[in-house]
Structure 1
Amino acid sequence: MPHAIGFDIYGTLVDPLEMTHELRALAGDRAERMSELWRQKQIEYALRRGLMRDYQSFGVCTAQALRYAAEAVDVELPEAEERRLLEEYQNLRAFADVGPALEKMKADGHRMVAFSNGVEETARTLLERAGILDHLGGMVSVDDLGTFKPDPRVYEYLAQRLQSPVEQTWLVSSNPWDVIGAKTAGLRAAWIRRSPEAVFDPWEVEPDLVAGDLLELSRSLSPAS
């Protein structure tokens, strides 16, 4: 039967580490490390703000993480360059498998939304520019609740917005902590293991499905499978 599915955006639908290319002129051979730190701190800052109940939007977390990454690798970050990089962050391309997989899953009758820590307007712009917004039935942002994944409330909110029982709602993410959050809240979850080197956190919580990309996931969730 068709499923109600929320897709994480960053790392699942689009690749945030693509920003390495944009950082090359600024950071040279430190660009890859700076990109990795930017992403790590972006996630960390959102998690910390959620725990502290000191909410600032994901855009704020992203900007602060960029400043941290620049300082950590000893790169000067002029204000104009910071603005340019944050704008380019909305131009991330979709992984090659995403468009065909979402098209197939839509044809199979699945109800699908993007589900993100990002502010809705920003996330919509990103998905539209990446050419995948039309494949989805909507956008669910944690900004509506003023907290972040993996707060159980945001996963319950996803199910509510999809008009689906929690236990029948799917979360699809490349981030193990996101999958664990969804499972702990009672949802079903698929881990997209985009890198064979990726390791799932040993928390005695397992994803319902593991797939290398969304095309593999679409085959696993196909009504004919």
Structure 2
Amino acid sequence: MNLGAVLFDAYGTLLDVHASVARHRARLGDAATAVSVLWRQKQLEYTWTLTLAGDYQPFDLLTARALDFALAQHGVTDAALRIDLLDAYSVLDAYPDVAATLQKLRARKLTVGVLSNGTGAMLREAFAAAGLDRQLDPLLSVEGLQLYKPDPRVYRMACERLDLPPNRIGFVSSNAWDAMGAARFGFQVFWLRRQIGPVEYDLPRVARQIPTLDLLAEQIA
């Protein structure tokens, strides 16, 4: 594939976006799973809607507003719990297959980094907490562009920062909409199927599918 770099989406790909609620599941009770799913759904919806409208608000603010919506939807009014959920979101758990995969890729002398909707501060804190900060460089954020993926300008920014053409950048995402955007831009895309579900965006035609990150290194020849 003659790749010069491999970039990863952060949230949902390297970091478990449901880990925050999992830590406080007992306090949320029966609403825990529904709150977590709706929190993520609204977080993403806000990024797409604002970008389409030509507006921007930072990802940490949208994350908080999405949580507020999810809690209100399910009648949760515990202010202390809200704070604890947001604190936990800043230090999400990495998936178990992440660290070893990053080590294998770095051993091949590839640039291994992140291309994320998260702010720079969010990414630095999250990956430091996960013990992965020394394995990921650069941490590319949409913050400077003030728009969100899958706008093609985000993927173009990565090419400019890495000084590589699109076809020499591998991109890994568990989010189908992100994998689609990166593939349309010209990246070599690996769609990480962390959630089992129907195929979207005709992705098997434009991206390689992998069920876990353990298989990534052998896919990159």
TM-score range, shorter chain: over 0.9
| Amino acid of the structure 1 residue aligned with 2:219 | S
Q: Which moved more, 1:56-65 or 1:197-206?
A: 197-206
Q: Which moved more, 1:80-89 or 1:27-36?
A: 80-89
CA distance in 2 between partners of 1:38 and 1:54 (Å): 21
Output aligned runs, 1:112-151, within 5 Å. 112-151=112-151
Q: Please name the residue that 1:6 is paired with.
A: 7
CA distance in 2 between partners of 1:103 and 1:39 (Å): 29
Please tell me whether the aligned partners of residues 180 and 206 of structure 1 are also in contact (alpha carbons under 8 angstroms).
Answer: no
Count the aligned residue pairs: 220
Q: Please name the residue that 1:159 is paired with.
A: 159
CA distance in 1 between partners of 2:205 and 2:40 (Å): 24
Q: Deviations over 1:113-140 (max 9, x none)?
A: 1111000111111011011111112210
> What secondary structure is seen at the aligned counterpart in 2 of 1:172?
strand
- Given the superposition, is the C-alpha separation of residues 45 and 23 from structure 1 closer, same or farther in structure 2, using an over 3 Å criterion? farther
- TM-score normalised by length of structure 2: 0.93
Please tell me whether the aligned partners of residues 2 and 111 of structure 1 are also in contact (alpha carbons under 8 angstroms).
Answer: no
- TM-score normalised by length of structure 1: 0.92
Q: Please name the residue that 2:197 is paired with.
A: 198
> What secondary structure is seen at the aligned counterpart in 1 of 2:7?
strand
Q: Please name the residue that 1:87 is paired with.
A: 87
Task: Report the Cα offset of residue 68 of structure 1.
Answer: 0.7
Q: Which moved more, 1:197-206 or 1:49-58?
A: 197-206
Please tell me whether the aligned partners of residues 8 and 116 of structure 1 are also in contact (alpha carbons under 8 angstroms).
Answer: yes
- Given the superposition, is the C-alpha separation of residues 151 and 2 from structure 1 closer, same or farther in structure 2, using an over 3 Å criterion? closer
Q: Which moved more, 1:29-38 or 1:182-191?
A: 182-191
Task: Report the Cα offset of residue 199 of structure 1.
Answer: 2.7
Output aligned runs, 1:53-68, within 5 Å. 53-68=54-69
| Amino acid of the structure 2 residue aligned with 1:111 | T
> What secondary structure is seen at the aligned counterpart in 1 of 2:149?
coil
Task: Report the Cα offset of residue 85 of structure 1.
Answer: 1.6
Deviation >6 Å, runs of 4+:
none
Q: Which moved more, 1:148-157 or 1:68-77?
A: 68-77
CA RMSD of aligned residues (A): 1.6
In structure 1, the gaps of 5 or more residues are none
Q: Deviations over 1:180-210 (max 9, x none)?
A: 0111222221101123x23331447734311
In structure 2, the gaps of 5 or more residues are none
Q: Please name the residue that 2:25 is paired with.
A: 24
Please tell me whether the aligned partners of residues 2 and 109 of structure 1 are also in contact (alpha carbons under 8 angstroms).
Answer: no
Q: Please name the residue that 1:170 is paired with.
A: 170
Please tell me whether the aligned partners of residues 145 and 154 of structure 1 are also in contact (alpha carbons under 8 angstroms).
Answer: yes
CA distance in 1 between partners of 2:198 and 2:62 (Å): 25
Q: Percent identity?
A: 35
